[in-house]
């Protein structure tokens, strides 16, 4: 991985691609950087920070503002929707919007997972070694406890524009109550919020890909699955803490 200042992602090893969305690194310049606004994505990240060790990020239901002191070095493994609960050995609903650190993980995660993360990926490692160990341990976890296939299938279906929870439950041959229970355990929240988060990520992907920003916000709202621009504004304010145009400026300034 490239450990120069900035944020970058890499594909996971092929054997882990069904459970791991990406590997990533983030390095803050020596003169510091503004706080980072992390948006909900239905994923859970295992993150190593130089000097302190591994902490858990997500599942998030709203924005998380992360300070980025000068010289911060982070390495992360991002688990796909449906992979986090099984891999970590506990229902994720109890970890909503939390960032448990090395000491907390020992008590939060069963089967000695937290203790292994703290002991095997300490903060004193060199970044390349830390990421290698984090990937190796994640591989063990997702191999012994693979993603919930039903929740993974539900997430793929709910990511489609216009998807409805009741229709997805019917396609999967289960009740909405069963789908809710399985999603809360594997992702941290139910399919209704999952659908909202995935729809919002479609919008975020669009504005990230448009250097000058969208010229027609109402059209983009409709294209990404919102009833109208006002609906998008409400969702953006709730999920990102900013209305759409302010979020656009924030993300492009951070990327710059």
CATH number of 213's domain: 1.10.10.60
Q: Which of 144, 177, 212 is the last residue of a domain?
A: 144
Taking the C-alpha atoms of residue 44 and residue 188, their distance in angstroms, rounded to an integer, is 9
Taking the C-alpha atoms of residue 4 and residue 90, their distance in angstroms, rounded to an integer, is 35
Q: For 13-90, where are the alpha helices, taking DSSP H only?
A: 84-88
Instruction: Give yes or no: residues 124 and 59 share one domain.
Output: yes
The sign of the torsion formed by the CA atoms of 39, 241, 228, 220 equals negative
Taking the C-alpha atoms of residue 199 and residue 42, their distance in angstroms, rounded to an integer, is 11
- What's the burial of 255, exposed, middle or buried (CB within 10 Å: 0-12/13-18/19+)? exposed
Taking the C-alpha atoms of residue 207 and residue 195, their distance in angstroms, rounded to an integer, is 19
Give the global pTM: 0.94
Instruction: Give yes or no: residues 183 and 205 share one domain.
Output: yes
The pLDDT > 70 percentage for the chain reads 97
Q: Residue-wise pLDDT tens for the chain (256 aa)?
A: 899 999 999 999 999 999 999 999 999 999 999 999 999 999 999 999 999 999 999 899 999 999 999 999 999 999 999 999 999 999 999 999 999 999 899 888 998 999 999 999 999 999 999 999 999 999 999 999 999 999 999 999 999 999 999 999 999 999 999 999 999 999 999 999 999 999 999 999 999 887 666 678 899 999 999 999 999 999 999 999 999 999 998 888 766 5
Does some domain include residue 1? no
Structure tokens at 45: 């990240």
Instruction: Give yes or no: residues 168 and 108 share one domain.
Output: no
Counted domains in the chain: 2
Q: Which domain holds residue 97?
A: 6-144
Does some domain include residue 59? yes
Instruction: Give yes or no: residues 12 and 137 share one domain.
Output: yes
Tokens 């539900």, residue located: 154
Q: In what order do the strands lie in the sheet with 20-27?
A: 6-10, 20-27, 73-79, 44-49, 53-57
Exposed e or buried b per residue across 119-140, where buried means at least 16 C-beta atoms within 10 angstroms of its C-beta: eebbeebebeebbebbbebbbe
Instruction: Give yes or no: residues 30 and 100 share one domain.
Output: yes
Instruction: Give yes or no: residues 126 and 33 share one domain.
Output: yes
Q: Which of 118, 144, 170 is the last residue of a domain?
A: 144
Does some domain include residue 86? yes
Taking the C-alpha atoms of residue 207 and residue 28, their distance in angstroms, rounded to an integer, is 24
Structure tokens at 207: 């504005």
Instruction: Give yes or no: residues 52 and 69 share one domain.
Output: yes
Instruction: Give yes or no: residues 78 and 192 share one domain.
Output: no
Instruction: Give yes or no: residues 199 and 88 share one domain.
Output: no
Across 4-156, where does the E strand assignment appear? Answer: 6-10, 20-27, 36-38, 44-49, 53-57, 64-66, 73-79
């Amino acid at each position: 991985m490239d450990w120069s200042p900035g944020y970058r992602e890499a594909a996971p090893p092929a054997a882990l691609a069904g459970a791991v969305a990406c590997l990533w690194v983030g390095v803050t310049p020596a003169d510091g950087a503004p706080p980072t606004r992390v948006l909900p994505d239905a994923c859970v990240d295992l993150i190593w920070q130089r000097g302190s060790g591994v902490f858990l990020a997500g599942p998030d239901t709203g924005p998380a503002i992360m300070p980025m002191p000068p010289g911060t070095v982070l390495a992360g493994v991002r688990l796909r929707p449906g992979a986090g609960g099984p891999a970590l050995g506990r229902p994720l609903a109890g970890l909503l919007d939390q960032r448990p650190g090395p000491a907390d993980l020992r008590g939060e995660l069963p089967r000695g997972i937290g203790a292994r993360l703290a002991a095997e990926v300490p903060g004193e490692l060199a970044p390349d070694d830390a990421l290698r160990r984090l990937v190796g341990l994640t591989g063990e976890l997702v191999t012994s406890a693979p993603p919930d296939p039903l929740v993974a299938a539900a997430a793929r279906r709910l990511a489609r524009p216009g998807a409805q929870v009741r229709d997805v439950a019917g396609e999967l041959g289960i009740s909405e109550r069963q789908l809710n229970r399985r999603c809360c355990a594997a992702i941290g929240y139910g399919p209704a919020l999952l659908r909202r988060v995935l729809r919002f990520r479609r919008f975020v992907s669009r504005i990230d890909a448009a250097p000058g920003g969208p010229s027609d916000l109402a059209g983009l709202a409709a294209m990404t699955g919102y009833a109208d621009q006002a609906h998008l504004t409400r969702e953006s304010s709730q999920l990102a803490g900013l209305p759409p145009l302010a979020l656009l400026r924030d993300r492009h300034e951070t990327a710059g």
